[in-house]
């Protein structure tokens, strides 16, 4: 007779408590955010042998164990936490012996298996009749409550007649490890059972008597679930329960794991914390402008001006891949939606050797490492555009996400602009972007991902009477279109925690057209390819070597017929169409090869030293560069860190500056030396103060010249030489309050001076965006009932301005040409503006709806963005920025 | 490319320049103070040995005492340098002397750069083309870095005429490009000819506006029409900037409708061959000002220009009456 004919109600009561046994997450890995731990699942349960003497004496008991489970799901050790009573029957040994033979699906964190310790209860209960095993194998994995043991006989057959799932309301995320209690009756007749939800949020109860049962679940951080359900005889009750989180502020689901800081200056923004910053419309790249070291630019200007460097001196990467544009129409919206992003790293200077081809800063937008637990996404609708984002798992090893966004500003403008207007918008500003991201993790050592993304902007105009715009305008139409696409393939190889290699290759096309009929145009069609590989070898816990290559190839067809374009330090205004020149090229190949090597070592457990070197070759100027860089950090005390860095940085002139017609093909690289020193202080877990002083010395800057050169006996303009100089110094302060006490925000302050000296000049002048003081206060407060209130207040020294000292009427051109004073010798008034944002989230069972009101410039500050002059520059009036501007939007997530 | 091109800003600036400003300011075509509305050289381009008659269309208060100062610069000047001439008379003479042009002598009483203080001026193209070519080459070689634009020393030399006008209150500085043709094979541009100007009201009543003032009704919309022949848009040889080839092109024309009061539908109209209709150039609508807002008269200044410096104008003053 089989032994279990006598008994055995050994029931897995639960993985009701588990801990991450060895917090072995590599903080230096890119998996910097500690994800929630998914508990292990028992896949091979071995019944404990009922001790014979206990069986004979008909004694029942239970034993509570702690089981250590390794990364493979195997049991590493079992300890008795609460021994059986009465003692001496051998219950403890029986429970331990059985548990040692269990097999689990390992616990995971961020998709990676991890070792955990669980608490496990083994119940020894007697049955009067032998049990017949549940034949419904599909339910065998469901942890079920102990069977009725209220003195009645154990039924002959275990019948799962109550089957439920517990999910988070709104997101439908399964809630694992939650104790669910089902009960009925009161006092002496009360009866109740418990079950613990598994990784899918599933739970079950066996052999519940028919009738009404009360159900209770109280997961931490959620409103309690109290409900009732009916059990009908010979039927299985199936139900889904949605539990509402006490607060849907996104921050409370993000556990921020601080990566080892290698740079002197790096700010990481998690996507969740930027979504509700007022005035940014959740656009992560716009949020960068609120960080220390970043100058204020126009409301819709896409320029990122970092530490007194020109916008083109700062590189923006999407997951390490260079993209031609980051904003639609130069600043309206960024081309990658939030749903695709994980975080943004911003380096205002002294970035490590991994990054190159920039003398200013680096913005590195990191894509989400896709691992959705369910099909989900969002639909975002606002006044400018609408977008949709969808993601879904494809089995256990793969996942895919897709997004699309399109503007409808064209529809609005066309509806507003009267038919009698002198400009007809054939295609008003229209943009769309699209993304497709897929990941595949065949095993723990390999991760493959593919990302296809692109963007398309277009604007077409018809002029009813071109002369009304400008007498020298002979075109009756104008248009701009910018489109690009990229395919990025990535392979991440992690054979052990001591080695990691990331290989990426990308290919795509950039297409830019800007033109006014045949009068002026720029038509660029470029195919680009990039190969990137980075390896990291951990020689020990404190020493790491990282290196890699970064190769960029492009072949371009170009037709350019354009006038002279104003450069930094030169007054803008009306382009002089009499300076139009033309150039044409096909299959113009350009290569850029970068390699880097750096050592990351930690000495005496508190001193981090990062020496590195980068070598670059630029075929367009046929020049190579060697750039040594050094960063260091020293932990003075638990809460204090001092830091410093010095490095050399190079970049190519822009393509027009090296063009034979428009520029000077003999130009060389621009160079910058970065120096910075500072400290960090963390008085509280959620509060950090970062103070950094910096100095940047720029040389060989491309500067316009009237100098001539004899080419084959013909005198030609050099146009540009590497004769400019730059000097920037200042102090950056960042006081950041991470999400705690329902609040998140920061105070950022920059004190700086940015100067330039153009070729031939003897005096320094102000840089275009030299802003002495830049103060930003912003925050977001979570209110009850899923309301969130955000604010932002900025005070910034006015940007430099070049005054007009008069005007000369050019009768041939038909307009007055301004006569300018010394470049940037004047300043605009101080800028100050407050923005607020109110969000309300409604949570439904399977989806959530968020509506927001974002009010920019709430006290209608009359900020001056520049001056506009009358026709002969004898009068000027301030051109004001945005007035008070309320914007509403809704976002549905599921 | 490691840098992003922001050249679309240029187009945006061009397109938006007129849209963005002037709404709050007096219109460019409203003549309410001392203005120089045009300068004409007759002939429009000078062949060697020719004498150019320079005149200006100046709008000034009747009682104002206006002074004139004409000057000339042998190269094109630029706004960035305040339209100051980068070449001095000494530099020019030295350039001539160094290249065997010593035979050239400045006639007595003639200043190379100073063209006088009369209402009109005379520009004598008295330097021989061959001498000027050599001098031009020498200037470029010696002072090319100081010149805002490198001149064409073999074909059409762009020089600058500058006029400073002062009425005791305002001073206006005006420049005009004057092309000196250094090759006999080139065909000089001619100033466009303006015909008669008529004003038609909504009832079809048409008035030819003569030099003797006619009468128009204030704030009444008049369709203005200038009689112009399409032949005003001359054909000319030019170098195609894209191909470098010599091509035959037709001139674009634009008309500026300056007014002393009232409003016009367009401030400027243009004819762009192949792009716009010729009638677009010569038609406009004018709503003359109220009598109380003027001295009982209003003046129209029509300036017609081609793209090669050819200019002509027509001025008509009308008596105003209220409806």
pLDDT digits (tens, 9 = 90+) for A527-584: 999 999 999 999 998 999 999 999 999 999 999 999 988 889 998 778 888 889 999 9
CA A358 to chain B, closest CA, distance in angstroms equals 8
Q: Does A551 touch chain B (CB under 8 A)?
A: no
pLDDT at B211: 78
- Is residue B258 in a domain? yes
Residues B293 and B220 reside in one and the same domain: yes
CB B96 within 8 A of CB B139: no
CA A630 to chain B, closest CA, distance in angstroms equals 24
pLDDT band for A58, please (50, 70, 90 cuts): confident
Residues B147 and B225 reside in one and the same domain: no
Average pLDDT over residues B26-40: 95
Residues B176 and B235 reside in one and the same domain: no
Contact B175 A654 (CB under 8 A): no
Paired tokens of A804: 């007009």
pLDDT at A368: 86
Task: Find where tokens 């809460």 sit.
Answer: A639
- What domain range includes position B89? 26-181
- Which of B8, B174, B176 shows the shortest C-beta gap to A514? B8
Q: Which residues contact A181 (CB under 8 A, 6 or more apart)?
A: A192, A193, A194, A215, A216, A217
d(CA A406, CA A402): 14
Render pLDDT for A99-129 as a digit per residue (tens, 0 to 9).
Answer: 888 888 888 777 788 888 887 878 777 654 3
Query: Which residue of A564, A759, A811, A871 to mutate against B (max B Cβ within 10 Å)?
Result: A811
Tell me which of A190-204, A385-399, A868-882 is least confident: A190-204
pLDDT at A35: 58
> Is residue A158 over pLDDT 80?
no
Contact A522 B5 (CB under 8 A): yes
Q: Is the pTM of this model over 0.90?
A: no
Residues of A in contact with B278 (CB under 8 A): none
Return the number of other C-beta atoms located less than 10 Å from residue B108's C-beta.
5
CA B143 to chain A, closest CA, distance in angstroms equals 9
Contact B11 A322 (CB under 8 A): no
Residues B278 and B251 reside in one and the same domain: yes
State percent of chain A over pLDDT 70.
88
d(CA A676, CA A689): 16
- Is residue B17 in a domain? no
Residues B239 and B270 reside in one and the same domain: yes
Average pLDDT over residues A157-176: 85
> Is residue A153 over pLDDT 60?
no
Residues B63 and B163 reside in one and the same domain: yes
Residues of B in contact with A717 (CB under 8 A): 150
Render pLDDT for A407-454 as a digit per residue (tens, 0 to 9).
Answer: 987 777 777 766 666 666 666 778 999 999 999 999 989 999 999 999
Torsion-angle region of A866 (φ positive above 0: left; ψ -120 to 50: alpha; else: beta)? left
Residue of chain A minimizing CA distance to B311: A812
Residues B158 and B243 reside in one and the same domain: no
Q: Which residues contact A77 (CB under 8 A, 6 or more apart)?
A: A67, A68
pLDDT at A851: 94
CB B247 within 8 A of CB B237: yes
Architecture of domain A362-893: Beta Barrel (2.40)
Contact A656 B242 (CB under 8 A): no
Q: What is the length of chain B?
A: 323
The total number of structural domains in chain B stands at 2
- C-alpha distance from residue A256 to each of A53, A706, B144 (Å): 53, 54, 62
CA A390 to chain B, closest CA, distance in angstroms equals 31
Of chain A, the end-to-end C-alpha distance in Å amounts to: 54
Contact B140 A708 (CB under 8 A): yes
d(CA A534, CA A317): 15
Residues of A in contact with B241 (CB under 8 A): 561, 580-582
CATH of span A150-246: 2.60.40.1120
CA B227 to chain A, closest CA, distance in angstroms equals 19
Contact B2 A652 (CB under 8 A): yes
Render pLDDT for A484-541 as a digit per residue (tens, 0 to 9).
Answer: 999 999 999 999 989 999 999 999 999 999 999 889 999 999 999 999 999 999 999 8
Q: What is the mean pLDDT of chain A?
A: 84
The HSE-up count of residue A272 (CA atoms within 13 Å, CB side) is 13
Residues B296 and B172 reside in one and the same domain: no
DSSP labels, A369-414: ----SSSEEEEEEESSEEEEEEEEEETTTEEEEEEEEEE-HHHHHH
Domain stop point among B120, B154, B181: B181
CATH classification number, A1-126, choose in 3.40.50.970, 3.40.50.1360, 3.10.450.50, 3.30.2420.10: 3.30.2420.10
Rg for chain B, CA atoms, rounded: 22
Contact A562 B10 (CB under 8 A): yes
pLDDT band for A263, please (50, 70, 90 cuts): low
The domain that contains B264 carries what CATH number?
A: 2.60.40.10
Contact A561 B309 (CB under 8 A): no
Note the helical H segments in chain B: 8-20, 89-98, 129-143, 279-282
Contact B174 A809 (CB under 8 A): yes
**Dihedral sign, Cα of residue B40, residue B44, residue B46, residue B51:** negative
- Is residue B228 in a domain? yes
Paired tokens of A460: 């077409």
Q: What is the length of chain A?
A: 894
Residues of A in contact with B73 (CB under 8 A): none
Residues B214 and B176 reside in one and the same domain: no
Q: Give B124 or A826, the one with higher predicted confidence.
A: A826
CB A61 within 8 A of CB A124: yes
Average pLDDT over residues A169-180: 87
Strand partners, A650: A671
Residues of B in contact with A593 (CB under 8 A): none
CA B269 to chain A, closest CA, distance in angstroms equals 5
- Which of B12, B15, B242 shows the shortest C-beta gap to A561? B242
pLDDT at B190: 94
Query: Which residue of A471, A658, A881 to mutate against B (max B Cβ within 10 Å)?
Result: A471
Q: Give A262 or B50, the one with higher predicted confidence.
A: B50
Strands (DSSP E) along chain B, which ranges? 35-42, 45-46, 51-59, 67-73, 114-116, 121-124, 156-166, 171-181, 197-200, 206-209, 214-217, 222-226, 235-239, 246-250, 253-259, 263-264, 268-271, 283-287, 297-306, 311-321
pLDDT at A27: 36
Q: Which residues contact A701 (CB under 8 A, 6 or more apart)?
A: A670, A722, A723, A724, A725, A726, A756
Average pLDDT over residues A80-98: 87
Q: Does A594 touch chain B (CB under 8 A)?
A: no
Q: Give A699 or A36, the one with higher predicted confidence.
A: A699
Rg for chain A, CA atoms, rounded: 33
pLDDT band for A251, please (50, 70, 90 cuts): very low
Please give the interface size between A and B, counted as residue pairs whose CB atoms are below 8 Å apart: 210
pLDDT at A427: 67
CB A892 within 8 A of CB A874: no
CB A274 within 8 A of CB A282: yes
pLDDT band for A262, please (50, 70, 90 cuts): low
Residue of chain B minimizing CA distance to A317: B2
Contact A461 B15 (CB under 8 A): yes
Residue of chain B minimizing CA distance to A474: B272
Tell me which of A40-54, A163-177, B213-227 is least confident: A40-54
- Is residue B187 in a domain? no
CA B108 to chain A, closest CA, distance in angstroms equals 31
Contact A471 B256 (CB under 8 A): yes
């Amino acid at each position: 007779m089989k032994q279990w004919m006598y008994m055995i109600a050994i029931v897995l009561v639960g993985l009701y408590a588990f801990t991450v046994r060895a917090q072995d997450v590599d903080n230096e890995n890119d998996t910097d955010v500690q994800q929630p731990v998914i508990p292990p699942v028992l896949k091979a349960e071995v019944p404990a042998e009922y001790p014979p003497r206990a069986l004979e004496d008909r004694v029942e008991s239970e034993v509570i164990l702690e089981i250590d489970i390794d990364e493979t799901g195997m049991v590493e050790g079992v300890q008795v936490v609460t021994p059986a009573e009465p003692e001496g029957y051998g219950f403890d040994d029986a429970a331990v012996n059985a548990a040692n033979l269990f097999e689990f699906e390992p616990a995971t964190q961020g998709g990676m298996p991890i070792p955990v310790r669980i608490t496990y209860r083994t119940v020894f209960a007697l049955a009067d009749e032998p049990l017949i095993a549940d034949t419904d194998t599909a339910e065998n994995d469901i942890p079920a409550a102990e069977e009725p043991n209220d003195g009645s006989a154990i039924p002959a057959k275990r019948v799962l007649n109550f089957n439920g799932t517990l999910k988070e309301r709104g997101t439908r995320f399964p809630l694992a490890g939650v104790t669910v209690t089902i009960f009925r009756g009161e006092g002496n007749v009360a009866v109740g059972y418990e079950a613990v939800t598994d990784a899918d949020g599933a739970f079950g109860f066996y052999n519940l008597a028919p009738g009404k049962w009360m159900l209770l679940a109280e997961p931490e951080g959620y409103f309690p679930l109290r409900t009732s359900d009916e059990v009908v005889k010979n039927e299985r009750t199936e139900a889904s329960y949605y539990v509402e989180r006490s607060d849907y502020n996104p921050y409370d689901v993000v556990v921020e794991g601080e990566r080892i800081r290698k740079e002197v200056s790096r700010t990481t923004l998690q996507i969740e914390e930027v979504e509700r910053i007022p005035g940014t419309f959740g656009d992560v790249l716009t949020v960068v402008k609120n960080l220390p070291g970043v100058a204020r630019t126009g409301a819709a200007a896409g320029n990122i001006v970092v530490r007194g460097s020109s916008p083109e001196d700062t590189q923006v990467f999407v997951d390490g891949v260079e993209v031609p544009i980051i904003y639609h129409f130069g600043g309206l919206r960024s081309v990658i939606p939030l749903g695709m992003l994980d975080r943004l790293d911003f380096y205002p200077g002294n970035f490590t050797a991994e990054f190159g081809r920039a003398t200013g800063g680096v913005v590195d937008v990191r894509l989400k490492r896709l691992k959705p637990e369910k099909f989900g996404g969002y639909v975002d609708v606002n006044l400018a555009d609408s977008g949709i984002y969808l993601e879904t798992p494809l089995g256990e090893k793969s996942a895919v996400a897709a997004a699309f966004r399109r503007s409808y500003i064209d529809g609005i403008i066309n509806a507003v602009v009267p038919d009698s207007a002198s400009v007809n918008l054939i295609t008003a500003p229209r943009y769309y972007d699209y993304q497709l991201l897929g990941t595949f993790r065949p095993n723990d050592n390999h991760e493959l991902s593919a990302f296809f993304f692109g963007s398309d902007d277009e604007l077409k105009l018809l002029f009813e009477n071109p002369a009304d715009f400008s007498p020298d305008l002979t075109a009756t139409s104008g248009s701009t279109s910018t489109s690009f696409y990229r395919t990025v393939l990535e392979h991440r190889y992690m054979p052990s925690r001591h080695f990691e290699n990331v290989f990426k290759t990308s290919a795509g096309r950039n297409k830019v057209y800007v033109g006014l009929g045949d009068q002026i145009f720029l038509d660029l069609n470029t195919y680009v390819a990039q190969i990137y590989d980075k390896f990291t070898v951990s020689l020990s816990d404190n020493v790491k070597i990282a290196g890699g290559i970064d190769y960029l190839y492009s072949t371009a067809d170009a037709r350019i017929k354009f006038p002279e374009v104003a450069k930094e330090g030169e007054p803008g205004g009306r382009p002089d169409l009499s300076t139009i020149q033309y150039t044409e090229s096909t299959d113009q190949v350009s290569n850029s090869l970068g390699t880097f090597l750096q050592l990351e070592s930690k000495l005496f457990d508190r001193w981090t030293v990062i020496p590195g070197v980068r070598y670059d070759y630029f075929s367009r100027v046929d020049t190579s560069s060697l750039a040594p860089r050094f960063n260091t950090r020293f932990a003075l005390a638990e809460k204090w860190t001092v830091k410093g860095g010095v490095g050399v940085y190079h970049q190519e002139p822009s393509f027009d500056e090296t063009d034979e017609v428009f520029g000077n093909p003999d130009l060389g690289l621009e160079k910058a030396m970065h120096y910075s020193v500072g400290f960090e202080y963390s008085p509280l877990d959620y509060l950090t103060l970062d103070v950094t002083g910096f100095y940047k010395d720029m040389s060989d800057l491309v500067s316009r010249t009237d100098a001539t050169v004899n080419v084959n006996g013909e005198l030609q303009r050099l146009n540009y030489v590497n004769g400019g100089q730059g000097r920037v110094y200042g102090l950056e302060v960042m006081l950041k309050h991470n999400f705690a006490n329902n609040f998140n925000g920061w105070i950022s302050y920059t004190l700086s001076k940015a100067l330039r000296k153009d070729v031939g000049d003897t005096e320094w002048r102000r840089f275009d965006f030299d802003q002495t003081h830049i103060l930003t206060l912003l925050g977001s407060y979570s209110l009850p009932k899923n309301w969130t209130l955000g604010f932002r207040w900025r005070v910034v020294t006015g940007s430099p301005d070049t005054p007009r000292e008069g005007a000369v009427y050019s009768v041939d051109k038909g307009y007055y040409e301004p006569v300018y004073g010394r470049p940037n010798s004047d300043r605009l008034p101080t800028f100050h503006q407050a923005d607020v944002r109110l969000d309300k989230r409604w949570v439904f069972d399977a989806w959530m709806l968020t509506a927001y009101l974002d009010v920019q410039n709430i006290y209608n500050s009359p900020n001056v963005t520049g001056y506009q002059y009358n026709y002969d520059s004898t009068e000027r009036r301030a051109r004001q920025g945005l007035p008070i501007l309320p914007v509403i939007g809704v976002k549905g997530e599921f | 490319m490691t840098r992003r091109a922001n050249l679309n800003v240029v187009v945006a600036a061009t397109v938006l320049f007129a849209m963005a400003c002037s709404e709050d300011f007096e219109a460019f075509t409203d003549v309410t103070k001392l203005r120089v509305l045009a300068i004409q050289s007759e002939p429009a381009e000078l062949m060697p040995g020719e004498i150019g008659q320079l005149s200006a269309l100046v709008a000034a208060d009747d009682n104002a005492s206006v002074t004139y100062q004409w000057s000339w610069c042998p190269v094109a000047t630029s706004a960035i340098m305040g339209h100051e001439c980068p070449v001095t008379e000494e530099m020019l003479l030295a350039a001539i002397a160094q290249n065997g042009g010593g035979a050239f002598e400045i006639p007595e009483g003639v200043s190379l750069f100073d063209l006088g203080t009369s209402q009109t001026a005379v520009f004598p193209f008295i330097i021989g083309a061959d001498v000027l070519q050599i001098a031009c080459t020498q200037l470029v070689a010696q002072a090319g870095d100081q010149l805002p634009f490198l001149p064409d020393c073999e074909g059409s030399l762009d020089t600058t005429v500058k006029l400073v006008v002062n009425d005791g209150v305002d001073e206006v500085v005006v420049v005009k490009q004057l092309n000196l043709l250094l090759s006999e094979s080139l065909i000089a541009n001619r100033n466009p000819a303006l015909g008669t100007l008529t004003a038609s009201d909504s009832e079809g009543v048409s008035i030819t506006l003569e030099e003797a003032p006619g009468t128009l009704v204030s704030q009444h919309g008049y369709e203005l029409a200038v009689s112009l022949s399409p032949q005003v848009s001359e054909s000319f040889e030019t170098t195609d900037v894209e191909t470098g080839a010599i091509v035959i092109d037709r001139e674009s024309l634009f008309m500026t409708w300056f007014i002393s009061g009232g409003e016009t539908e367009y401030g400027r109209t243009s004819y762009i061959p192949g792009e716009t209709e010729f009638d677009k150039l010569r038609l406009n609508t004018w709503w003359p000002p109220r009598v109380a807002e003027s001295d009982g008269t209003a003046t129209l200044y029509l300036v017609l220009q081609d793209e090669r410096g050819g200019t002509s104008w027509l001025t008509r003053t009308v008596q105003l009456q209220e409806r």
